[in-house]
Structure 1
Amino acid sequence: MNWLIGFFGNPDNWSGPDGIPARLLEHLAFSAAALLLATLIALPLGLWIGHTGRGAYLIVITVNVARAMPTLGLLVLIVLVLGTATVWPVLIPLVALAAPPILVNTYEGVRGVDPELRDSAYGMGLRGGQVLGRVLVPVALPLLLLGLRLSAIQVVATTTVAAYAGLGGLGRFIIDGLATKDYESVVGGAVLVVLFALGVQVLFTVVQRMTVSPGVSQRKQIR
């Protein structure tokens, strides 16, 4: 507790390029960029595979690769290849980490829609894209948001590795603190990352309540 009081109570930690606000914005920028790129890649792919049933083997491959991939090891490898002049050595591992939950949950959400709803939509004269956009996506939205939430939390927690590449973010408090044995900074940085992750959790909970139809939520609970 004394370490937390000392860290958050120190005015020097709240100003300048190494202060909490600046590091928090850096962490947010890395996390948001990685989540956006992962979403742009995985969401359309998951929708397409879930809707058409083609390429389902990609889901199995993606899950197996994601489970076996060491994010820090991949970061070190990419840094050795690309250097540290850009943010790509950090973004590539984070995107690789964030994409699988989005892809899998999107696929499962679309494929899990009641076939009778699909048949009814086609029976009403809707075409493939219309069925996907008007029927499948709204019903699958809880799982889609779950995939995004899981990815966002993982990315926020893992963006701390950016400090290993000499970049910013909240990980600087942890990495630099360990290097200098400043455990007050280590604990403070870890608490900030946890609070950030909890904030993401709350944000997605609010988004789900605002976007998911009550009828869909009740239907999911019944099933």
Structure 2
Amino acid sequence: MNVFSWLSDFFGSADRQHGPDSIVHRITEHLVFSGEALGWAVLIAVPLGLLLGYTGKAAGLVTALSGAARALPTLGLVTLAVLLAGVGETAVLVPLVALAAPVLLVAACEGVRSTDPELRDAARGIGLTHRQVLLQVCVPWALPALLAGLRTAAVQVIATATVAAYVGLGGLGRYVVDGLATQDFAQTFGGALLVVLLAVATQVLFALLLRFALPAGLRRPRG
């Protein structure tokens, strides 16, 4: 059977149009898992990264630890989370947060560290507190790096959220896992294709956000 037959069988199936196994339902589940994981990663990593970047403490250690954390096997973390917390959303959120948080931590830290020192000194010179300098000067300066890090983390999480199916949850990974289990290669191929398309769409969305949502001064390359 060729690829076009697989696509026809997958997208033409009545189960893909309505019900719990429909494409819309599976995409929604996939985005919910990904959004929750990304939200927790932002809450944990971004404030810590901003603080460490501003103080300049442990910046090298942050980069080293983040690199080590990104090398952790996601499926292994899922298995460990299932053993410790049981089957459920926690078993999926833990590895996805562990995947996204290091990227965001480094982006926030390095974004703040790249703030022009003269700009920071000038802000302190006019009487701004450290908190005001961080929030009003460093964070806007770091915004491009933060958005770039968020884009990378979002794409990685969406591409990896298929692991939810391995612990009995939904999402697009359901097509891949169920298709492999039943040797329904049309379903496996269709599910994998949807994951790729969703990741590409996320990449494009963040690229547009970087292009149009940032002020012109922040979009220009810094010498």
Q: TM-score range by the shorter chain?
A: over 0.9
Displacement of 1:62 in angstroms is: 2.5
The residue number in structure 1 matching 2:199 is 197
Q: State the distance in 1 between where 2:41 and 2:23 align.
A: 27
The residue number in structure 1 matching 2:6 is 3
Equivalent pair of 2:69/2:102 in contact (CA under 8 Å):
yes
Which consecutive residues of structure 1, in runs of 5 or more, have no partner in the other structure?
none
The residue number in structure 2 matching 1:188 is 190
Q: State the distance in 2 between where 1:191 and 1:67 align.
A: 24
**Which of 53, 63, 67 is equivalent to 1:64?**
67
Amino acid at match of 1:154: Q
| Length-normalised TM-score, structure 2 | 0.94
Amino acid at match of 2:78: L
The residue number in structure 2 matching 1:76 is 79
| Length-normalised TM-score, structure 1 | 0.94
Which runs of 4 or more aligned residues in structure 1 lie more than 6 Å from their structure 2 counterparts after TM superposition? none
The residue number in structure 1 matching 2:155 is 153
Tell me the number of residue pairs that the alignment of Structure 1 and Structure 2 aligns. Answer: 220
Amino acid at match of 2:82: V
Displacement of 1:57 in angstroms is: 4.9
Amino acid at match of 1:66: A
Q: State the distance in 2 between where 1:94 and 1:170 align.
A: 15
Displacement of 1:150 in angstroms is: 0.5
Q: Percent identity?
A: 55
Equivalent pair of 2:70/2:99 in contact (CA under 8 Å):
no
Q: State the distance in 2 between where 1:56 and 1:222 align.
A: 22
Equivalent pair of 1:138/1:212 in contact (CA under 8 Å):
no
**Which of 112, 115, 130 is equivalent to 2:114?**
112
**Alpha carbon RMSD of aligned pairs, Å?**
1.3
**Which of 33, 36, 39 is equivalent to 1:36?**
39
Greater CA deviation, 35-44 or 6-15?
6-15
